[in-house]
Structure 1
Amino acid sequence: MCADTPDTAVDTALPDYRDTVFLPDTTFAMRAGLPAREPEWLARWERLGVYDRLRETGKGRAPFVLHDGPPYANGHLHIGHALNKVLKDMVVRSQQMMGFDARYVPGWDCHGLPIEWKIEEQYRAKGLDKDAVDIVTFRQECRRFAEGWIDIQRDEFKRLGITGKWDRPYLTMDYHAEAVIADEFMKFVMNGSLYQGSKPVMWSPVEKTALAEAEVEYHDHTSHTIWVRFPVVGVEQDSLKDAVLKGWDDHPKTDGNSMDLKGASVVIWTTTPWTIPQNRAVAHGHGQGIDYAMYLIETLIEGSTARIGERVIVAKKLAETVKTAGKIASWVEVRDVSGDALNSMTLAHPYRGIAEGNGEWDYDVPMLPGDHVTDEAGTGFVHTAPSHGDDDYQLGLKFGLAMTYNVEADGSYRTDLPVFGGQAILTAEGKEGPANVSNIKALHAQGALLAKGKLKHSYPHSWRSKAPLIFRNTPQWFVAIDKPLDDGMTTYGGSIRARALTSINQLVQWTPQTGRNRLHSMIEARPDWVLSRQRAWGVPLTCFVKKGAKPTAPDFLLRNADVNARIKAAFEADGADVWYVQGFKERVLEGIVDPLDYEQVFDVLDVWFDSGSTHAFVLRDREDGASDGIADLYLEGTDQHRGWFHSSMLQACGTKGRAPYRGVLTHGFTLDEKGMKMSKSLGNTVAPQQVIDEYGADILRLWVAQSDYTVDLRIGKEILKGVADSYRRLRNTMRYMLGALHGFDQAERLPMEQMPELDAWVLHRMAELDAEVRSGYARYDFQGVFREVFTFATTDLSAFYFDVIKDTLYCDGPDAVTRRAARTVLDLLYHRLTRWLAPILVFTMEEVWLERFPGEDSSVHLTDFPETPASWRNDALGAKWAQVRQVRRVVTAALEVQRTAKVIGSSLEAAPQVYVDSAALQAALNKVDMAQVAITSALALSTGSAPAGAFTLPDVPGVGVAFAAASGQKCQRCWQILPDVGSHKHPGVCKRCDTVLG
């Protein structure tokens, strides 16, 4: 049957029939030229107003709302941004084409430290002091900085082919947004969950502000490690009568004093020597199953700071570790130390008496049971500084330990602290200050240092300044997540935590399911939410506190609906800057309460509260939001389980009573080809624009579609080459289809009931695939959708169906049922493939669409997936043609042997004999033109075993092929070798071609 271009084997003595063959005809280029052409389609979509037109045509449809997690407006896009936005775009486009009114309003996070930090850097470069500048002026500079980057990022997102309401995005710094954020905050004021507390929080000495867990990242850090003696100075003997004294025998090395715990030392281990001045207790884990013992030191290794004859108490499991660290050659275990014995002890602070005439550390240090103590590392005892760690703080609350206020906002000790006053823990540059070393030296001078060392471990850093953090006790504003709320919304629980856990378990669909587990464990274990930041660029905590009242007093916070309404109205009119204008307090309090009785709070809200509130001013307040204020989908990276997913959940559970989303989709991070994290210093980053400039945005989008986004994704030159190769194969399929459909019109369409079996099989495959595509898009399984469509296009179509029907398309007459059937099927394939792939390859499928349907108002993105009749599905036909294709495999493999041996040059030179040992299979094959399917000039079928020497394939049992050459002459039009060639009106052609020529 005819090949692509029948021009090399034409007998010059006969007429040239090339012009009578219906060859493919298309202007669709083989080379895409995407980098140059994609901007043309972007401009076209802009002129068409595609997104707004979809909103008009979508009226009355069920809405589908993907709520955009706002990126931060402070730099060019990275590959993670591209991954995220392309996934969102594929969701929105596919949902729209499946019949929903799919809305997507892009947004930006505009407040916060990164922008403020940039403006401060500009000030420092000019030698200016930020604190000397009017705060409103400073905030307006931050606003202008954000506006500039929004415009840049908007163009970069649009270049990726992302559809959305780009001319009216949401910004957290819009006046209405700031008003709503303040209003949402004031709901926490009114429902009783907001309180001011003094407790340790993650603190950045570089940025001089508290940070939330979502603003923290962990990097390797080398810390000092120290083993410190806390002397036992007191024992409550009554509590030891039964638990300690009974059964104790003197040890010969203890000089008869073994029953006296006084004089022994409890040894603690810590990686933060700077916290020792803040110690208020030592915690033990006897109740956690940790066994303790007293050890008498006998001999030492040179350089040890231990003392022969001293007694130390440590966990048994960690004894050898302590012994090695302390350079102790030998010691002897004197006896066990029970939990009652530990609880009976009173310790001295290691700095007791360090400053003559100053009693800073002359207090007793209690021994306390702690649930958080383990024997995985250290000594089994935990030095407890309630002001500098959450476990320590909780233990302090339980036992009434005093808080300390020794560390200032810049990470240095208060100036009047004895010995260490003014020393920095961390410098303004984020480097280690002298505090750690000073403490180590002081402990050594006190005789308290048993050992020291260094430890490389994972340590919290600010994700903005990249500097290490400390836990620091400061007055901050918190939302209590376990307190029953006074808001009447108890359907899913009374407290924020209860509502969040119910939402996670009952109201939200998770993709993948592991996202549920991660957020659930975080919410289940998290402490109260720290809302306050000590910065300038953000929405202020719009509240007032009563002068002189304690934070625990009922009237400490002003709770007044009229005041709140005035604040919101002022923000709507002039933005949050008005909070800082002189006289604002008097303006909103006048006539309601006496302004002189109240102080205005000037902390700003955590930016995660801003983004967590977006459901209110986007989903609730916009006409293109969601009628119930709940999104169908939030889609972000895995880091947002502690970020936007988390803060949105907490915020909405406090103000709406439930999660603001019905579905959450999570994607992984982007890595280089070797699986390493991308880093500018390593030179392994891949910028979106770099890929677009070389390949085009569709290749980047196809990389996303081909990847399993539920895990970390790799990208690099070799991977992109593979993606580009898949694209070229798919493009060639679409190009062939366009060429074969040249001139097709509706009059040519063949009714479904007249379809030959081969073409009906393709309809069956389309029906199967339609179900898979719709199901895959509904599950956000873009990898699965593309894999199925790509396999169908390249294997079922290009490698089989297109190959088989070439002769029909090229050589059958225009009115022939066979040609009409093939072209009808090609048209149906075109409409499905083009639209099924449109959410992924937005530019290429638009090009394919316009090749057939040009016009100023034409766009594939204004169409839906076509309905595919259920009647096309024919599983029995599908099973039969699976067998047919297996037989074809044996035939083509047998012919390839003959081709390799140069017996034949083309499969049309063959007329093989095919043997099948199954009568049922032969009966099925008898109704199939196997010569057409195998692309031979003739083919004979026989039932029974193949003769010796016949070609077989091991994985297709029961089928054998005996080669035979085709007999007759070569048709000069279709190239088949047939006996009747030369016996018709037109010289040198077969009967079929003679009929077509007329």
Structure 2
Amino acid sequence: MTDKTPPQTDYSATLFLPQTAFPMRAGLPQKEPELLARWARLGLYERLRAVGRGRPRFVLHDGPPYANGNIHIGHALNKILKDVVTRSQQMLGHDSNYVPGWDCHGLPIEWKIEEENYRKKGKAKPDLTDSAAMIAFRQECRAYAEHWLDVQRAEFKRLGVEGDWDHPYTTMSFAGEAQIAREIIKFAENGLLYRGSKPVMWSVVEKTALAEAEVEYHDHTSDTVWVKFPVQMVVRDGAVLDPAGPRWNDLGKLAPVGENLAPASVVIWTTTPWTIPGNRAISFSSKISYGLYEITDARPDNWAKVGERLILADKLADDVFKQARVSSYRRLQDVTPHALAIGCTAHPLADLGYGFKVPLLDGDHVTDEAGTGFVHTAPGHGREDFEIWTQHRRWLEERGISPAIPYTVDEDSFYTEQAPGFAGKRVITEAGEKGDANQAVIDALVAAGNLLARGRLKHQYPHSWRSKKPVIFRNTPQWFIAMDQDIRDADGRPAPRPATLAGNAPDTLRARALAGIESVQWVPEVGENRITGMIANRPDWVVSRQRAWGVPIAVFVKETGDGEVEILKDPAVNDRIAAAFAAEGADAWYKEGARARFLGDRAGEGWQKVDDILDVWFDSGSTHAFTLEVRPDLKADRPPAGPDRVMYLEGSDQHRGWFHSSLLESCGTRGRPPYDAVLTHGFVLDEDGRKMSKSLGNVVAPQEVIKASGADILRLWVCASDYADDLRIGPEILKSTADTYRKLRNTIRWLLGSLHHYRAAERVAVEAMPALERLMLHRLQDLDGQVRAAYAAFDYKKVNALLTAFMTTELSAFYFDVRKDALYCDPISSVTRRACLTVLDETFARLVTWLAPILPFTCEEAFLARTGSVDGSVHLLTFPDTPAAWRDEALAETWRKIRQVRRVVLGALELERAAKRIGSSLEAAPVVHVANPELAAALEGVDFAEICITSGVALRFDDGPAEAFRLDDVPGVAVVPGLAAGRKCARSWKVSEEVGRDPDFPDVTPRDAQALRELAARAAAE
């Protein structure tokens, strides 16, 4: 051996460098369709059912999207979450299946057919009273829904959602329509279905009643008016006189002597002047302080005149006079609840034909937060108005007041003849714009001298979520499901009580639903409070719609003569209806001769067919009845008796939608909720937190994201977000997601490349492994519990955070870096190398399954690259069991301390690299001073140079010099950088004084020389 360094040999071919066909560039837009085709060839969904057979069943019942357009980013969020649920539950050891469904009936489709097939073409809509025209129109709607169902199915599948796509459920299937009819018949049989005349939200544009779930609130500017109702009651010397006519009653003795309320006016405030012709009462509150006020000064041109007396809530008087531009007034006296309760007023438009008394009714809904302290009460135009009016029905009759509710507005929002003086005026036009009714009423109030003030108010007002136009409250006969009526069986006896009801609780639909809510797991928990409040306060469920495309309320009725109807309860008739629907669909109801066909020998009894269709929320609320209870693959043995579970998963708006209607439908007919768990997610906003809209140009289409980056990027975005809140998406967020994906993919790729050199026969037992390998097994065991728990809790953000941190920080940035030298350069026989490969094999097996629910395409690609399987799939696996014996908390604590010291070394080396005193860390051999005894003990027996990826480390157990590098958060450790002595190994690139000691390999270390000999021996043997 001479002093001259011999020329170095290229040893790269002798290194165990990573080798894999798994590409660095994912190419997901091209690769994912190939994997989808592979899963189709394998029949993956059927095979998942086969491997899951016999396990506890976890059924995610699909909330049916509406089949009327391409999917949007909200759809993508929803379906991806559902797929992560079912895939993770399957891998947790359940039989977790997914049957997609579609909601196909209802106004949006009917509206689209009218627009595209008729309005755009200048054709008149068919006369739907003709049976042939009705059926033909319904067939147009069916074809439209079928088209979009196919489009959406392809788009959902492209997201990587695994399900029984060849056998979905739809509300328009004949079996579905038949069961929906059976379900409404059950409500007829248990006494909850009734026809009533109530104010409902009415869409003038769509000409149908709407449920609360079909309404959204938008800013709207309303005309506001303060209106005077002249008092007709006078209290004098304890007697009550009616100056407008005969004595009102003899209750005046309850009023204080001398309380004179005439001449005076009760003042109301309303944002709907058009409802004044429907006024029949004024509501007040006995809990509010009222006073009699007199105007002492006002402008001559005011509607408010000097000397006028007004009755107002004391708290609101100042504001009312300000609105009326009254400059001076005085309070004359208290007005007691007794005086109000026995009082009445004249209608402000009495001279136009409203010459009836307007009583004052005490109501809990009245407050003094805004307005006047009095509430204009038009029982045909508001829920609370209707309720207080009907509550006082007997009281009104006893006082000679008709409790009848007028029909002042028709279905097109024109005033009827029951609104004298205004017939033909319109509230809302067909275009959804304000009509001339408000102004006509305001003009009449001015002429009558009973308008005190007017204004305009911008506020939240109900709009149809389909037409986006304002709705009105309108009294009209509709079909309702009662919330507070005792539930009966078909024979009229009390129905069997659900086990969830307390012994003294009434057996009503509301009571059943509230009790059922408590038995359900709500994710997040706040969902329970939200739906409880909705159920506790909701009115009776209006289930009828005046449209054509849907399932009819398939019952027969007979008028009873008092405005109510009797419902036919005949099992034979009902069976014929259900059988016909199952064979021909709900079109059977509209065919010529349907009445006689279904009634049979009862056709001559005067029963009439109901032609209203059901609210589509009743359709979707009934889906459990023709899926979960019928399909063998969806039937579940649910708690408390069985181990299976059913989950519903939708956006948070479905607390008032599908969760709500499903709960009511199932509790009303089966006594319990149809689900055991309900998961809700937020809505998708842009990066700035704004709602997406085409006009803002901030819409993110899932189709475009998939085309550019792949579905796995969208899926990673979903699982990295907190779905319990509103999610944000946009170019920068997607870029960040793609960066995270790249890091995860590179980790998987390095694992695959390194495992190219793995041999099962060379596995190392845990007890024979170096401490670092045992540490990584401990981390796998720790992660296994955390990942399983997070998946079980549907906390996918936590799963993503755990695995991303582990793969990027603990594997790539620590373990892989530390072990690359041993993996690439150690001899074949090296225990460290073989132990590392063993750990990598265990790590890959877990990562590829833990990540599979989130990144199904990438993990399948990695699985195939590892196994070369022809007919296997990562998705057929369960999460691998991780031995509890791998857990070693003491070892983990030791390595926590080692890594603290390592951080100080890496910090010192970073400064050296920045100062260009070193290039690679292998050029360094720092002196590490450790004064902390606990940290010093942790380093005992550790090759710390290997851990720091340097060519040498000198440990000194002292404080170190003052100029040494330190980190404030690691006290007791100081590092003095230094260069490694010796020559650079031509194979491992370590700098060592041992290079050249093996005469056969003068340019490498003895370790590398041994590796070269073993490689040569293997080559010779092969």
Counterpart check, 1:159 vs 2:152: no
Counterpart check, 1:56 vs 2:66: no
Aligned position for 1:4: none
- TM-score scaled by length of structure 2: 0.93
Aligned position for 2:245: none
Superposed, 1:500-649 pairs within 5 Å as 500-505=513-518, 507-550=519-562, 552=564, 556-591=566-601, 593-628=602-637, 632-649=646-663
Deviation at 1:241, TM superposition (A): 6.7
Which of 858, 863, 872 is the matching residue for 2:886?
872
Instruction: String of CA shifts for 1:360-391, please: whole Å, max 9, x gaps.
Output: 31101111111101111111111100011010
**In structure 1, distance between residues paired with 2:980 and 2:119:** 88
Report the AA paired with residue 797 of structure 2: Q
Aligned position for 2:680: 666
Superposed, 1:660-699 pairs within 5 Å as 660-699=674-713
**In structure 2, distance between residues paired with 1:58 and 1:967:** 61
Report the AA paired with residue 335 of structure 2: V
**In structure 2, distance between residues paired with 1:55 and 1:865:** 17
Report the AA paired with residue 543 of structure 1: V
**In structure 2, distance between residues paired with 1:118 and 1:266:** 48
Deviation at 1:12, TM superposition (A): 7.5
Instruction: String of CA shifts for 1:908-956, please: whole Å, max 9, x gaps.
Output: 1222221222334323212211111001111122222223222111000
Deviation at 1:419, TM superposition (A): 1.7
Superposed, 1:295-374 pairs within 5 Å as 295-301=293-299, 303-354=301-352, 360-374=353-367
Aligned position for 2:79: 85
Aligned position for 1:102: 96
- The alignment of Structure 1 onto Structure 2 pairs a total of residues equal to 967
Report the AA paired with residue 537 of structure 1: W
Which of 971, 987, 1009 is the matching residue for 1:957?
971
Instruction: String of CA shifts for 1:767-811, please: whole Å, max 9, x gaps.
Output: 000101000000000000000000000000000000000000110
Change (3 A) 1:955 1:818: same
Deviation at 1:126, TM superposition (A): 2.5
Aligned position for 2:1019: none
Deviation at 1:551, TM superposition (A): 5.6
- 3-state DSSP of counterpart to 1:982: coil
Aligned position for 1:384: 377
Change (3 A) 1:235 1:838: same
Aligned position for 2:983: 969
Deviation at 1:580, TM superposition (A): 0.5
Greater alpha carbon shift after TM alignment, 517-526 vs 399-408: 399-408
Change (3 A) 1:302 1:848: farther
Report the AA paired with residue 434 of structure 2: E
**In structure 2, distance between residues paired with 1:877 and 1:669:** 45
Say if 2:649 and 2:679, in contact at 8 Å, map to a contact too.
yes
Report the AA paired with residue 108 of structure 2: P
**In structure 2, distance between residues paired with 1:826 and 1:654:** 56
Greater alpha carbon shift after TM alignment, 599-608 vs 259-268: 259-268
Deviation at 1:510, TM superposition (A): 0.5
Aligned position for 1:197: 196
Say if 1:922 and 1:942, in contact at 8 Å, map to a contact too.
no
Superposed, 1:488-507 pairs within 5 Å as 488-491=495-498, 492-493=500-501, 494-505=507-518, 507=519
**In structure 2, distance between residues paired with 1:595 and 1:382:** 49
**In structure 2, distance between residues paired with 1:380 and 1:131:** 50
**In structure 1, distance between residues paired with 2:621 and 2:252:** 58
Greater alpha carbon shift after TM alignment, 804-813 vs 684-693: 684-693
- 3-state DSSP of counterpart to 1:457: strand
Say if 2:232 and 2:343, in contact at 8 Å, map to a contact too.
yes
Report the AA paired with residue 483 of structure 1: Q
Say if 1:198 and 1:476, in contact at 8 Å, map to a contact too.
yes
Deviation at 1:481, TM superposition (A): 1.5
Aligned position for 2:1009: 994
Say if 1:462 and 1:469, in contact at 8 Å, map to a contact too.
yes
Counterpart check, 1:720 vs 2:734: yes
Deviation at 1:696, TM superposition (A): 1.1
Change (3 A) 1:12 1:482: farther
- 3-state DSSP of counterpart to 1:879: helix
Change (3 A) 1:777 1:620: same
Counterpart check, 1:139 vs 2:138: yes
**In structure 2, distance between residues paired with 1:983 and 1:199:** 100
Greater alpha carbon shift after TM alignment, 172-181 vs 16-25: 16-25
**In structure 2, distance between residues paired with 1:754 and 1:142:** 70
Superposed, 1:558-957 pairs within 5 Å as 558-591=568-601, 593-628=602-637, 632-957=646-971
Report the AA paired with residue 321 of structure 2: K
Change (3 A) 1:472 1:138: same
**In structure 2, distance between residues paired with 1:476 and 1:272:** 23
**In structure 1, distance between residues paired with 2:981 and 2:604:** 108
Deviation at 1:11, TM superposition (A): 7.8
Change (3 A) 1:241 1:135: closer
Report the AA paired with residue 880 of structure 1: T
Aligned position for 2:421: 419
**In structure 2, distance between residues paired with 1:395 and 1:888:** 76
Counterpart check, 1:394 vs 2:394: no
Instruction: String of CA shifts for 1:977-996, please: whole Å, max 9, x gaps.
Output: 11111121211111101111
Deviation at 1:484, TM superposition (A): 1.6
Aligned position for 2:481: 479
Deviation at 1:55, TM superposition (A): 0.5
Report the AA paired with residue 651 of structure 2: G
After superposition, the CA RMSD in angstroms is: 1.6
Deviation at 1:230, TM superposition (A): 0.3
Deviation at 1:685, TM superposition (A): 1.3
**In structure 2, distance between residues paired with 1:854 and 1:595:** 74
**In structure 2, distance between residues paired with 1:840 and 1:222:** 46
Deviation at 1:875, TM superposition (A): 0.8
Gaps of 5+ in 1: 1-9, 249-258, 355-359
Say if 2:63 and 2:658, in contact at 8 Å, map to a contact too.
yes
Report the AA paired with residue 465 of structure 1: S
**In structure 2, distance between residues paired with 1:948 and 1:421:** 97
**In structure 2, distance between residues paired with 1:272 and 1:521:** 27
Gaps of 5+ in 2: 241-250, 394-402, 490-494, 502-506, 639-643, 1014-1022
- 3-state DSSP of counterpart to 1:298: strand
Report the AA paired with residue 267 of structure 1: V
Greater alpha carbon shift after TM alignment, 984-993 vs 908-917: 908-917
Say if 2:64 and 2:103, in contact at 8 Å, map to a contact too.
yes
- 3-state DSSP of counterpart to 2:231: strand
Change (3 A) 1:128 1:939: same
Instruction: String of CA shifts for 1:712-766, please: whole Å, max 9, x gaps.
Output: 1111111111111111111111111111111323112212221110011000000
Deviation at 1:964, TM superposition (A): 2.6
Report the AA paired with residue 891 of structure 1: V
Aligned position for 2:26: 32
Instruction: String of CA shifts for 1:662-711, please: whole Å, max 9, x gaps.
Output: 00001011111111111222222111112112211111111100000001
Greater alpha carbon shift after TM alignment, 364-373 vs 907-916: 907-916
- 3-state DSSP of counterpart to 1:233: coil
**In structure 1, distance between residues paired with 2:912 and 2:695:** 57
Change (3 A) 1:11 1:435: farther
Matched residues, percent identical?
A: 56
Instruction: String of CA shifts for 1:59-105, please: whole Å, max 9, x gaps.
Output: 11111100000000001111111111100000000000111110100
Report the AA paired with residue 297 of structure 1: I
Say if 1:489 and 1:656, in contact at 8 Å, map to a contact too.
no
Report the AA paired with residue 413 of structure 1: Y
- 3-state DSSP of counterpart to 1:771: helix
**In structure 2, distance between residues paired with 1:327 and 1:437:** 21
Report the AA paired with residue 73 of structure 1: A
